[in-house]
Structure 1
Amino acid sequence: MAEIKRERPNCCERCGRTGTRLFGDHIVELKDGGAKLDKRNVQLLCGSCHTAKTASVRAERHARNW
């Protein structure tokens, strides 16, 4: 994560927010087959965007499994 944060701008990759804590988010979640250590599968998100993205992906996964 430290390497990814050094390589990318210090802002949320979804909304552009700066000055906030950034979370490393797997674009394709590990449960869905995403690569854990592939930097191309990680995006930096602020807390709000991370929460919204995670909820959306979980809802999609739940709908697929019904």
Structure 2
Amino acid sequence: MSNQQATVSPERIVAILQRTELGAAMWRAATYEAISEVQAERISELERQHGPAADEGSPAATDV
């Protein structure tokens, strides 16, 4: 018996996942999670450069 493993391209996996309702939902969730992580990293980077963002109700947000 052979121990060969079939390889499947990432594109093929995505295509298979998107064909089913559950797979499509999982794909959307993973995509949204990845976007959220990138946004969180960007916010952290901006806060390191410029300080924390003021909340809408804080005095810093209302100062003119």
The TM-score with structure 2 as length reference comes to 0.39
The structure number with the bigger radius of gyration is 2
Whose strand fraction is larger, Structure 1's or Structure 2's? 1
Whose helix fraction is larger, Structure 1's or Structure 2's? 2
The TM-score with structure 1 as length reference comes to 0.38
